[in-house]
Structures are given as C-alpha cells and as structure tokens.
Structure 1
Amino acid sequence: MRRRSLLIAVPTGLVALAGCGDDESDTSKASDSASPAASESAPASAPPPPKIVDGPLPAITAGTKFGEKPTVAKGSGDPSKQLAVKTLVAGGGKVVAEGDFITANYLGQLWDTAKVLDNSWDRKSPLLTQIAQGTTMEGWRYALTGKKAGSRVEFSVPPTWGFGKAGNTQLGVKGTDTLVFVFDIEETFSAKSSAKGKDVAQDDADLPKVGTNTDGKAPSIDVPKADAPTKLVANYVIEGDGDELAADSTVLVQYKGVIWDTGKEFDSSYSSGKLTSFSLQQVVKGWAQGLTGKKVGSRVLVVIPPKLGYADSPPPGSGIEKDSTLVFSVDILAKM
C-alpha cells in the first residue's frame, strides 16, 4: 500500500468505480466523479498483460484536434478481445512511465451503443490520476504507459482489463461490455518533478530560507535561530503561472517537512520517492489555509503553528513533539 502522508487529517474514503481485473463481485461505490480512480491497494489477482493491437477502433467524427472534446462513433462489428490502442496525435512531451501521475482530458463510452459514460471536458476539470496497478483501470495503465504528454490516444478495453465480469451497475456497464476511451494527455509527473516559475526574494531573516533548485531533489530548508511565528506563514519561494488552488482543490505535490526547533526532517515525498495527491479538505488546517489561492507550478514555504497543525496530538511515531511548529517546502505540481 502506498505510504500515506502525515499531513492527511482524515482518510480519503474513496473506493474505485473501476474494478481492477476479472472480479466476480461488484464492490464499487459512489465517488465525486465517474472516473475509474481506484483504491490504494493493489488487486489480489490482476489479469495477465494484454496484447496491444492496432484495432479495430471507432472513428472520431468531430473534435478531432488535441484539446477538443471528441465525438466518437459506435463500434462496428466485434471489438478486439485484446487492448486496441492508437495514437491519433503524437505529442512531444515527457513519456508516461509506470507510477507517474498524469493530467488529462478524457472521454469514455460503450462500444456497442456509443453511450458516453463520463468525460472531463463537460466538467471543465482535467483528470489527475496515477498510472499504476491498483490505482487506475488496468486498461488505462497498459494503454497509456509509454505515451508522451501532448498525445491523443484512443483505445478499447475489454472486460478483462476494465470492470471485469461484474461490470459496473452505477455506470450502466455490463460484464460483457467493451469500453472505448479517448485521452488527451496534458502532463506527466514523476518523483523527479519540481516547481517551475520565477524565484521570489526571501528577505525576512526571521523566516526559514528554502532552496530554489528545480532538479527534482529535495530543497534545503534553513530554519533561523529565532522564535517561531505564532501565525501561519505561506510565502512563494518560486512563483508559478498556473491556476490558483481553491479550498476544495485536489492537488499533486512534492514536499519536505522539518520541525522548527530542531530542523529535523520528519516527512518528505523526496525521501519516499513518491508524489502525494490529496484534497485540501483532507489535510491539516495549516496546509489547507496556506495553499488555498497559491498557483500551480509554485514552491511555497509554509510555517504552521501548533494550533493549525497537530497541537498536543501529533501522530504516533512521527517524531513530532507536542505543540511543535512545522516548516514545509511544497511544490504544487498540478490540481484537479
């Protein structure tokens, strides 16, 4: 199971709408969207890898350019029993690797009827998901790994690598249904991803100074020999030019946390080698308040006083003492 950040205040509680593999039982439950985001645990028995074939695939009859909402025709004849994948627009960005997070616009529908199950264009909110076993539909994992950011990919997913024999009653998918997807991959993020933007002067000698390297390595955090602030601090170190975060945004971040009194690191995505994604409604108050309004692409210094952190109830085994002031460097990589 992926390691959960110490920052999470409550568990996510989201269960996959997409069953992984050929599961006999339908354990899907409602979530905020019908995207096949899955739980953190890998499936007990994953199906064998599919063969990747060229087709058949339905025609896109409108919205053929990258970034445009596509209209996809009904499938003709019988779909492949394997994974049919075609790159319709070849991008020039980074290659999507196993374990990466991506942001993408996508549309999914049924092969036989062309009934649209979900699409991110209408929500005006790209999908943010990790391409890894147990965290996304297996068909997505196999079809999108190896593709480049900036690409439009169309593919069909038979039940084995989709919802399995149980189908998905909430979406109206039978256990015999083949699914068709069109993905516009906007960006891909790995454990080496960093903020990107303009450095901002760090002139206050009474506040920690954060390194501005953007090589994917953890930045330094130099805590001054001064009294910790009693109020929340949330200052740009690097200011990006992306969208501002809302109070309910789901974000993808790199981060490092140290304790003010000792400068000792207690939590870090750099050390774990894994990015962290969560809703700002699910983290400690200092993070939620400090990151709301900040821009995607930025690195932010966040100093959290005890009342907005863990106060007198730090997580057991975290190394955080009661009433500790916490210092973070946070790279905001993406939002959903």
Structure 2
Amino acid sequence: MRLLLKTTAIAAAVLMIAACDRPDPGEPEDQPEPPTDINPTDPDGDLPDEAKSGAELAADFQKLATENLAASMAFLDQNAQREGVEVTDSGLQYMVLEEGPEDGRSPVSTDLVTVHYVGTLKDGVEFDSSRARGAAAQFPLNQVIPGWTEGVQLMSEGDRYRFFVPPSLAYGENPRPGGAIGPNDALIFDVELIKVKNPEINLEEANAFLAENAGKDGIQTTESGLQYQVLTEGPSDGKSPEATDTVEVHYQGTLLNGTEFDSSYSRGQTIEFPLNRVIAGWTEGVQLMSEGDKFRFFIPPALAYGETGTPGGPIGPNEALIFEVELVAVK
C-alpha cells in the first residue's frame, strides 16, 4: 500500500466479514439415479434452493430471520441477568473485563480509535478477530455498527470490555451475504481500546514531539518546519533532484509510536514517482538529498496528510510522520 501519492485512497474495512469461497464440487464419476420420493410440485418437498422460486426463497429467509430474532432475544434476556452485565437504554449489554489507567482518554463518535477485538456468535463460533490477523484495527467510530459506536464510547484507553450486541445494533436482517453472521444474529465482541485519536489530540502530540526532537543532535529544521537527519551520504557526484524530476527510492514510514504503516523494503522493491506528486514533506525533503543518500525525515502534519489523515487509517488526522528514505536514482 503506497501512502505517499496525494491521490491515494484507503478504504476502511472494519468489522466486515469476508464471504467464504465455495469449492467446486466437480463432476462425480457415477451419476446416481434421481430420487423417486420427491414431488417436484410439492412446495414442502426437499427441493434444492436452485429449484425454488424467488418467493419461496424469500419466505425461507424470513423464517430464518424470525427464528434467529427469537433466539437472539431469548439469549439477551437471559444474559442480562448475569452478574456483571450492564444494559444501556438502547439494549446494548456489556461487561467490564479490565480497566485501563485512570488518565486514559474516552472517545466521542467522531474520533478515530485503534482496537483489538474478537467477534463471536452467541454459540461461540468466531467470525472475525484482529488478534488472529496479528494487527490492531483502526477506524472512525461513527462508521461502524451502532453497537460499536455506542459501546466503545463507554470505554477509556486500556479498557477491555465484552459487548453483547442485539441484532438491531448489529447487522439486523441484512448481514453480508455468504458470511458467518445470519439475519438477526446477536453478536459478542471482546474489545480492547488501545488508542483514541482526533485532530486536536494528534496535533498537540505532534507539536510536542517535534519541539523536543528539534533539540536532538544531528536534527536540522527547515523554514517550513520539516526536520531531517542525515543517516548515510552517497557519492559526491550523485545527482540531486528537482521537484519536477522522477525519483526512485526505498523508504519506510512509521507513526510516532513506531508503528510501521508503509514500506518499500517490506515489498522488496523500490518505488518511482514524480517528486511533485507526493506529500509536501517529501517534495521538499528529497530535494535536499543526492543519489545514494539516506535521510530520516520528521514531517509535521501540515506537510503530510493534515487534518484528514488517510480515511479509515492507518494515519490519523494531524499525525506527524517519520520516514527513512534512501534516494536510489534521479530519473
């Protein structure tokens, strides 16, 4: 994922359940005799879905949705009586599993949150897990299911909660086709709130970091506020680019907390781009380099992605960024 180009769009895919691919059943070697005990005109007969009319399929779906809703509400009614379970006015149920530090921030609906979570059906079947993927999820809190939008606002950074989400606050009768979640399924999520981000918080943290960083040995600051450190110098006859040049680079990008969000090294190949088509911190900074140089850049939000960040993450609004850049060639 190349985050440098101004035109890059990063779509959030939070809490969406991927449909499982169905294997090709293939052709049997011996075709069995057709059954003789099924009346194809009998609507109650054991017909495959392909042979049912649209009205029959809709009726089957509605029957399943009705049965699931009754089972979900029975589960939630019983669960509400358990010790430690709290119920909000909307019907959302939650348990506090672990409390974080007292100074942890609580989000509002417009904040960007970073979480780890495991989602299961009421029978314990796991349908999604950031822990299984080995990477925390980040998303705007007002762009997920209502049970999450409401529930995570009850938490503070470092808290772990278990949410029991009624169908009306989850996917209702319309879950993603082919996924593990059925119509009107109640869902259970174990959620750890790792970080709350918003433009004001991030700008405050970015400014504090850059002010301290500017005083460190080897750090130079330009008039725009871009900070850089020379890590390796290339040959004396290496070319330096102009803004209109195309450059070939290797790079790694991290957030202030060390989280890597992009890396050509991880992809195993350099990247080429016109230098005037990337974020302002790169356009300015790479022109300070010569072929063979390796610099570390500390980029203020105004020279990176500003108040918007990258939609859905991984870069939040007003985040300062750190890049290690190796200028391979000027084209």
TM-score, normalization by structure 1: 0.47
Between structures 1 and 2, the one with greater helix share: 2
